[in-house]
Amino acid sequence: MNILILIIFIGGYVLIASEHLIKINKAAIALITGVLCWLSYIVFYSDHHLVTERLTEHLGDLSGILYFLLSAMTIVELIDSHNGFSIITEKIKSNDKKRLLWTIGFLTFFLSAILDNLTTTIVLISVLRKLLKDKKERLYFAGIVIIAANAGGAWSPIGDVTTTMLWIGGQVTAFRIISGLILPSLVSLIIPLIIVSFRMKGNIERPEEDRIRTNNLSLLHQKIILFSGIGVLILVPVFKTLTGLPPYMGILFGLGIIWIITELLHRSKADEEKHQYTVASALKKIDTSTILFFLGILIAISAMQSTGILANLSSTLTGSIKNQNIIVIFIGLLSSVVDNVPLVAAAQGMYDLALYPTDHYFWEFLAYCAGTGGSVLIIGSAAGVAAMGMEKINFLWYLKKISWLALIGFFSGAFFYILQDILLK
């Protein structure tokens, strides 16, 4: 059974990577792959009721991620429809490619630590669309956004799901994870930035603004939607901390608030005129295939988690590799293929706090590697999947142009962390 599920997953993975050759949408392949993995599980497992219970349990967790993604994309689309991002882009005066690259990289890095890597990617990709007209140039910037978002999320307890898991699980504390990982994470971004800077020359060409859409909007309305939208996204971690409810509840609550604000702002307009500024219009513009692709991938991975494939892999690693640095680095690289959430969850279950107490080197290094390793492949992180859907980034293009940069950054940050630990002992 496990071998069959692995074959299905690998086969689906290859087809997703070959999307531009077979001309079939990756979302369709991901959905079929996910269902086939669970179909194999239930066919070869005697207790069908237990399988369906596990599937329902996983779907509960997955739905939270998907509703979070849907709500975040809706809020960002509302800001865009009100031309709110122009307020940000007008503050970015430089047209020099190198300077803009570093500005976007650092903005993403620090914003990701405050929001999270998924939300930050959605926001920054939307900003890039307002800054860069050339599609090829924008893809390179999008690649840097993915690397920067994952690097920024790794050192913050609320910046990445896996770091949050370790924080809530008691493996790390907020102060230690920030102080211990901010520099290695920064190194994992700066090295790719330096390399790409040598290839960037000249100035960017900005797209023409959509004046038709903004004729009926005042600057005040633009600012209200921009700041309320960004404010809602920033307050999601606060909502989670104060209420104990999962993040998707916070962002759903925030979406409801933004919905009411837009209704109040445009209540005096005729229905045809205000339609383009409504949530209903924003929902139509969202790339739902991205959400379905995400669902398919996560369903397939949850099948491997339920059947014990991931746990067995972790046990094999521990038994065959004695060096903890190599184990953690391998888990980080594996997270570019398999979602880092079940990998970190498996590690939490395997390694007891009695063996590795809170703020131990192992947990900090795991947070870094699991967070930044997902950048090596575009489907290795939520940030990558979101960017892939929004900018239609080809899997193989990313593999050729960005993966090696992410890999160099990943190892640079890893070696820096190891060196930092040696020097501070």
Minimum mean pLDDT range among 63-67, 256-260, 373-377: 63-67
Q: Cα–Cα distance between 110 and 149 in angstroms, integer?
A: 8
Query: 289 is written with which tokens?
Result: 């295939």
Per-residue pLDDT band for 131 (boundaries 50, 70, 90) equals confident
From the list 329, 341, 324, the residue with the least C-alpha distance to 373 is 329
Specify the DSSP element, H or E, that contains 375.
none
* Residue 322: partners with Cβ closer than 8 Å, 6 or more residues away: none
Find the mean pLDDT for residues 339-359: 73
Bigger pLDDT: 365 vs 164: 365
Q: Could you tell me how far CA 374 lies from the centroid of its own chain?
A: 9
Span of 10-14, 210-214, 221-225, 332-336 with lowest mean pLDDT: 210-214
Domain limits at 135?
2-424
Mean pLDDT value of segment 120-124: 86
pLDDT at 402 over 90: yes
Predicted local distance difference test score (pLDDT) of residue 316: 76
| 164 three-state secondary structure | helix
CB burial readout 285-315, b (16+ within 10 A) else e: ebbeebbbbbbbbbbbbbbbbbbebbbebbe
pLDDT band at 341 (very low <50, low <70, confident <90, very high): low
How confident is the model at residue 60, as a pLDDT?
Answer: 81
Three-state DSSP class for residue 159? coil
The one-letter amino acid code at 63 reads S
Mean pLDDT calculated for residue range 225-236: 84
Which has more pLDDT, 280 or 147?
147
Looking at residue 212, its pLDDT comes to: 44
Measured CA to CA, the distance from residue 363 to residue 381 in angstroms comes to: 19
CA 391, distance to chain mean position in Å, is: 14
The answer to whether the CB of 146 falls within 8 A of the CB of 373 is no
pLDDT-based confidence at 191, cuts 50/70/90? very high
Dist. CA 232–CA 119, nearest whole Å? 11
- Give the chain's radius of gyration (CA, Å): 22
Compute the mean pLDDT over every residue in the chain, rounded to the nearest whole number.
84
Per-residue pLDDT tens digits for 196-223 = 988 888 777 777 665 445 556 778 888 8
Q: pLDDT per residue over 98-116, tens digit each?
A: 888 999 999 999 988 877 7
What is the per-residue pLDDT for 284?
A: 82
Q: How many domains are contained in the chain? A: 1
User: What is the model's pLDDT at position 147?
Assistant: 95
Helix H or strand E encompassing 47: none
More confident residue, 246 or 158: 246
Q: Using DSSP, state whether 417 is helix, strand or coil.
A: helix
Residues 200, 94: Cα–Cα separation, whole Å: 14
pLDDT of residue 179 exceeding 50, the answer is yes
DSSP H helical ranges for 155-207: 161-168, 174-197
Neighbours of 57 (CB within 10 A): 12
DSSP secondary structure string for all residues of 87-150:
HHHHH----BHHHHHHHHHHHHHHHHHHS-HHHHHHHHHHHHHHH---HHHHHHHHHHHHHHHH
Terminal-to-terminal C-alpha distance of the chain: 47
254 class by beta-carbon count within 10 Å (0-12 exposed, 13-18 middle, 19+ buried): buried
Give Cβ neighbours of residue 398 (< 8 Å, ≥ 6 apart): 143, 377, 378, 384, 388
Interval 257-295: pLDDT, tens = 999 999 888 888 877 777 788 888 888 877 788 788 878
- pLDDT above 90: residue 347: no
- 411 pLDDT above the threshold of 90: yes
The pLDDT of residue 218 is 78
